[in-house]
Amino acid sequence: MAAAPDRESWRPEAILGQLVVLRRHRPDNLRAFTRWYADPEIARLTRYQQAPLSTEEVQRFFYTRILGSDFLAMAIHVRDTDRLIGTCAFSQLDGDNGSTLYHITIGENDAWGKGYGTEATDLMLAHAFTRLALHRVALMVFEFNPRAIRSYEKCGFVVEGRARQAIVRDGRFWDEIHMSVLAEEWEARFRDRR
């Protein structure tokens, strides 16, 4: 098993796809973050708390996490127009065990359901398993977000467990679903697509 590269080398300037381009975040992306994370529907799909993030919380998150050194965060741009539509990231990179957690938010709701998030996830997985030489990428998703679950399954994630009734939404309890994809699963899927 290859060791994960040093932190600076695992931060590409850009990753090019057919639908999207992933780029390093810039400070002026904060405006979009502030708008996205003030949206009640984004909060509903991404947060344990019911309320959207405050402006101060978004700023703290953006500067410490998104622009900080502990996340590998990439801005998602539509390739044809260069429009910024979302963000994706790896956190908790564990080089000793070859694992990381994956996060994605498509912040522009008119960009939902167009394959942008699926392709961004595919690009990040390729980066994880080729450039970073990781063994496992995991994520958590709420049971009431079937669109995200379908997207993750298209990218090769499988359900590995549940935190039962972990979150209250819409007047009832829902599970938090834990999913992951392993390097050998990703490689087999990649070979099958050739």
Question: How distant is the alpha carbon of residue 177 from its chain centre?
Answer: 15
Report pTM: 0.92
The pLDDT profile of the chain, 194 residues, written as one tens digit per residue, is 444 455 555 789 999 999 999 999 999 999 999 999 999 999 899 988 888 888 999 999 999 999 987 789 999 999 999 999 999 999 999 989 999 999 999 999 999 999 999 999 999 999 999 999 999 999 999 999 999 999 999 999 999 999 999 999 989 999 999 999 999 999 998 776 65
CATH of domain 14-192: 3.40.630.30
**Which residue ranges make up each domain of the chain?**
14-192
Residues 6 or more apart in contact with residue 166 via CB below 8 angstroms: 173, 174, 175, 176
**Residues composing the chain:** 194
Taking the C-alpha atoms of residue 169 and residue 43, their distance in angstroms, rounded to an integer, is: 11
The pLDDT score that the predictor gives to residue 4 is 46
Q: How many CA atoms lie within 13 A of 56 on its CB side?
A: 0
The pLDDT score that the predictor gives to residue 53 is 87
The pLDDT score that the predictor gives to residue 155 is 97
